[in-house]
Structure 1
Amino acid sequence: MRRIILTVLLAGAVGAALTAFVAPKPGPERTTTAAPIDHATYDRLLKKYVNDKGLVNYKAWKNDQQELNQYLDQLSKNPPATGWSKPEQMAYWINAYNAYTIKLILNHYPVQSIKDIGSKIKIPFVTTPWAAEFFRIGGKKMSLDDIEHGTLRKKYDDPRIHFALVCASISCPRLRPEAYTADKLDRQLDDQGRDFLNNPSKNKVGKESAQLSKYFDWYKGDWNLNGQSVTKWVNKYSTTKLGDNANISYLGYNWNLNEQ
């Protein structure tokens, strides 16, 4: 009898967890030919509050949020339109992810880590800040997970986004002190890849062995798409090239805030 009761309780718990889990939603898209938005305001703010190491002056930015709020309002009201090019759409969503992450930190600052911002509802899969629907785009409630997993990873098939999305943590890629724009996007993403792979605090690459960022473990499926592999992506950007039989392990992840 105890075994039967326990089985029922476990089944109920798993069922509740699965019911509570909501898969990331794709971002909205307008069926118009509206022009892409201008990211110049966001670009100025990044240059003002982010240094060349990608660290953010959250303390100062906390007291000067008017322009950021105006930019986020612009993003909220102007989701990508069907007439936008792929680079225009990707630049929009990458900027949106990073800008809303900054806003999330500012909403709760001071914090030591983005992971300190958790849901009060202790339900599996929805207890992280990335699952919180704290903004709207095109009138649709969205989360950071919706942008990353429901839109960028799902729609655009470009693993380089992992070099550009910044989760406000030390082990994340460097937050670029400029906005992403369609005309520079390809170069910016490649530059982020070189910066990330050749930063010994994030990746330690040798010819016969490497200690890589957890990004290459967490998103292994992305790096293996289209005949690629983790080794091929590393060698695309690292100045030291991995051998075919190199031993790969993964570094621990530092979730401390990327703060100046």
Structure 2
Amino acid sequence: MKKQLIIGLMALVAVEGFSQDVTTFFNKADAFFKANVSNGLVAYSKIHGNQDELTSILKIAKGILVSKDDADVYQAFWINAYNLSVIRGIVDNYPTNSPLDNAGFFDKTTYSLAGKQITLNDIEHKLLRGQFKDARFHFVLVCGAIGCPPLINKAYLPKTLNAQLETQTKIALNGSFLRVNTKKKRVQVSQIMEWYKEDFTMNGTKEIDFINTYRTEKLEGKYKLSYFPYDWKVNKQ
């Protein structure tokens, strides 16, 4: 009986510790984004000059364990971890004109997160896109470039995640992600929709259908769709 009680207390402490770590991670990430992101642009020079807070947050993220069984916590954690790790990568190579100027930025450099040594590509393609069929990820994972959807100045949180995914997708598809010529019935979209076409055409839908789900001004009739070049310049303030 005594042994069972001790085991139960240990489990309770572990759960409480896990909960506190996750809460601390989200709180610190939220404060970090608020302090260093404005209008989608990141204060890399400022962060480079004082890296303590970023290092502290990623140290917390290293010891957190998340399960896809709790999808909101899992997705929110990995979205924030991705965006923070991109900032870490830019800062580690600062000054830099583009993430692509640094060999292996997305597919070779690894980060210690949630008990894993993992690349940015692994987070995006294996842990998020590979586990959940949700094209909205493309509007919240920010690759450190101007061509990406804008980085928000707050953390993605489990309790608000779906609303945040919806909001960012609407902002992108009603903003600079599309260039619409209504007279000629033409629409140019970011190359993201070309690179990940399968994500935007799931269940037999077309890219225009996906766009119209989130557009305030619908693309009525037959539009010719093409893609404009991605801007890989770093998204610095």
Distance, in Å, in 1 between the alignment partners of 2:154 and 2:209 is 28
The 2-side partners of 1:107 and 1:190 are apart by 32
Q: Which moved more, 1:218-227 or 1:236-245?
A: 236-245
Q: Quote the Cα distance in structure 2 between the aligned partners of 1:242 and 1:159.
A: 19
Shift of 1:140: 2.6
The 8 Å contact of residues 64 and 115 in structure 2, kept in 1 or not, is answered as no
> Does the residue aligned with 1:72 lie in a helix, a strand or coil?
helix
Residues 62 and 112 in structure 2, CA contact (< 8 A), matched pair in contact too: yes
Alignment partner, residue 95 of structure 2 = 110
- 1:188-207 equivalences in 2 (<5 Å): 188-200=164-176, 202-207=177-182
Query: Paired residues, what number?
Result: 217
In terms of fraction of residues, the more strand-rich structure is 2
1:87 to 58, 72, 79: 72
1:179: Cα distance to partner? Answer: 0.2
Residue 95 of structure 2 aligns to which amino acid in structure 1? P
- Percent sequence identity is 33
Which residue in 1 is equivalent to 2:206?
229
User: Does structure 2 conserve the Cα–Cα contact (< 8 Å) formed by 1:206 and 1:241?
Assistant: no
Q: 1:184 aligns with which of 157, 160, 167?
A: 160
In the alignment, structure 1 residue 43 sits paired with structure 2 residue 30: yes
Deviations 1:226-254 (A, max 9, x none): 34331122112222212352100101111
- Name 1:148's counterpart in structure 2: 124
Q: Which runs of 5+ in 1 are unaligned?
A: 1-31, 119-127
- Residues of 2 paired with 1:37 and 1:145: CA distance? 23
1:182 partner amino acid:
P
What corresponds to 1:75 in structure 2?
Answer: 61
- Residue 158 of structure 2 aligns to a residue whose secondary structure is coil
CA contact (8 A) 2:66 2:114 kept: no
User: Hey, what does 1:12 align to over in structure 2?
Assistant: none
- Residue 132 of structure 1 deviates from its aligned partner by 1.7
**Unmatched 5+ residue regions in structure 2?**
1-13
Output the amino acid matched with 1:58. Y
After superposition, give the CA deviation of every residue in 1:185-216 in whole Å (9 maximum; x if it has no partner).
1110111011111223x311344220101111
SS in 1 for 2:167: helix
Alpha-carbon deviations, 1:72-105, whole Å to 9, x = none? 11111113136x5211111011001100000000
TM-score normalized by the length of structure 2: 0.86
Partner AA of 2:235 in structure 1: N
Distance in 2 between residues matched to 1:47 and 1:228, nearest whole Å:
37
Q: Which aligned pairs between 1:18-37 and structure 2 lie closer than 5 A?
A: 34-35=18-19, 37=22
Greater helix fraction, Structure 1 or Structure 2: 2
Q: Pairwise CA RMSD of aligned residues?
A: 1.7
